[in-house]
């Protein structure tokens, strides 16, 4: 593994343990592309933390667009994740329009604008987490596969919603709100209460509804998962952890602003191993 891909592996191991462990189930010849993709996801997900206002953040996203499309490769040797992604895009013929959709959706993170509707939130999940999942599947399978698309969208939305629910204390502290405005109105939740970290019965009801939405997407994913090629399975393995995170959020003493939604590493590794084993068994039965 070259230095740039070793760097990406270290980034993913440090910042995204769930995807890192799932990546180990990918074939060795595909694994470095997966590490590059997930390190890229870490880079673009943390842009808000690195800038003081949206404009330089937008410039960073534009730099990624230009770099990955071949418009601007200057000084890329100083950015190992970019160097690894350029090679991954080239070697696996990754669709640039899908990468652009991920970057466009991430622009929302730079602003304090509210997420207006549930449809907008689902679009965000579809373009961010599901987009990365689809790209990972492309690396693993070697081409775009129509049977993967719908399943990946449901899986990615479930994963994105769960991540946003876990990050609610962090986002609310900086007055950033991913909870859809139409749901806030329907449940009578005040945005200022969320920003203040105030747990109310109305907010708890809204969060329960969002968890139900996650489970609906998981159910839709399971309907079609049998059509997904075994080669793509490592891209889907992190979804096996969603139920465990939801379970923590449904304990009697759960407080969305004060409970650390954490699952021990050994249990997460066990869940991913079980999911990989089920995928292999399912493939044998299909044969």
- Predicted local confidence at residue 285, as pLDDT: 43
Pair 10, 26 in one domain: yes
CA distances from 126 to 102, 121, 129, 268 (A): 9, 9, 6, 24
Q: Across residues 109-137, what is the average pLDDT?
A: 96
- Whether 281 shows a pLDDT value over 90: the answer reads no
Question: Where a domain ends, among 79, 110, 141?
Answer: 110
- Predicted local confidence at residue 191, as pLDDT: 96
Number of structural domains (the chain) is 2
Closest Cα partner for 140 from 36, 225, 34?
34
The pLDDT > 90 percentage for the chain reads: 90
Pair 101, 118 in one domain: no
Closest Cα partner for 212 from 150, 162, 152?
162
CA distances from 84 to 38, 68, 178 (A): 11, 10, 31
Cβ atoms of 67 and 82 closer than 8 Å: yes
CATH number of the domain bearing residue 155? 1.10.600.10
**From CA 17, how far away is CA 238, in angstroms rounded?**
10
pLDDT band at 9 (very low <50, low <70, confident <90, very high): very high
Phi, psi for residue 197 in degrees, rounded to 5: 70, 35
Q: The domain containing residue 205 runs over which residues?
A: 112-287
Question: Where a domain ends, among 89, 110, 131?
Answer: 110
Q: Is 32 exposed, middle or buried (0-12, 13-18, 19+ CB in 10 A)?
A: buried
- Predicted local confidence at residue 283, as pLDDT: 52
pLDDT tens figures, 33-43: 999 999 999 99
Average pLDDT, the chain: 93
pTM of the model: 0.94
pLDDT tens figures, 172-199: 999 999 999 999 999 999 999 999 999 9
- Predicted local confidence at residue 73, as pLDDT: 52
pLDDT band at 282 (very low <50, low <70, confident <90, very high): low
């Amino acid at each position: 593994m070259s230095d740039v891909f070793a760097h990406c592996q270290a980034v993913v191991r440090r910042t995204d343990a769930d995807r890192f462990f799932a990546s180990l189930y990918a074939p060795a010849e595909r694994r470095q592309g997966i590490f590059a993709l997930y390190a890229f996801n870490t880079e673009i997900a943390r842009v808000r933390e690195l800038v003081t206002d949206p404009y330089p953040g937008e410039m960073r996203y534009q730099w990624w667009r230009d770099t990955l499309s071949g418009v601007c490769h200057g000084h890329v040797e100083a950015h190992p994740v970019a160097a690894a992604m350029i090679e991954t895009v080239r070697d696996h013929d990754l669709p640039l329009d899908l990468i652009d959709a991920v970057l466009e959706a991430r622009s929302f993170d730079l602003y304090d604008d509210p997420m207006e509707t549930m449809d907008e939130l689902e679009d965000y999940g579809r373009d961010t987490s599901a987009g990365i999942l689809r790209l990972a599947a492309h690396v693993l399978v070697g081409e775009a596969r129509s049977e993967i698309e719908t399943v990946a969208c449901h899986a990615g939305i479930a994963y994105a919603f769960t991540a946003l629910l876990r990050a609610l204390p962090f986002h609310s502290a900086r007055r950033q709100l991913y909870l859809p405005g139409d749901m806030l109105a329907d449940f009578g939740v005040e945005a200022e209460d969320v920003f203040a970290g105030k747990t109310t019965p109305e907010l708890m009801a809204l969060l329960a509804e969002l968890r139900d939405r996650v489970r609906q997407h998981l159910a839709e994913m399971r309907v079609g998962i049998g059509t997904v090629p075994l080669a793509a399975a490592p891209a889907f393995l992190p979804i096996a952890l969603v139920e465990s995170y939801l379970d923590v959020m449904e304990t009697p003493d759960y407080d969305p602003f004060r409970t650390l939604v954490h699952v021990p590493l050994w249990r997460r590794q066990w869940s991913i191993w079980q999911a990989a084993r089920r995928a292999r068994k399912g493939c044998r039965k299909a044969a």
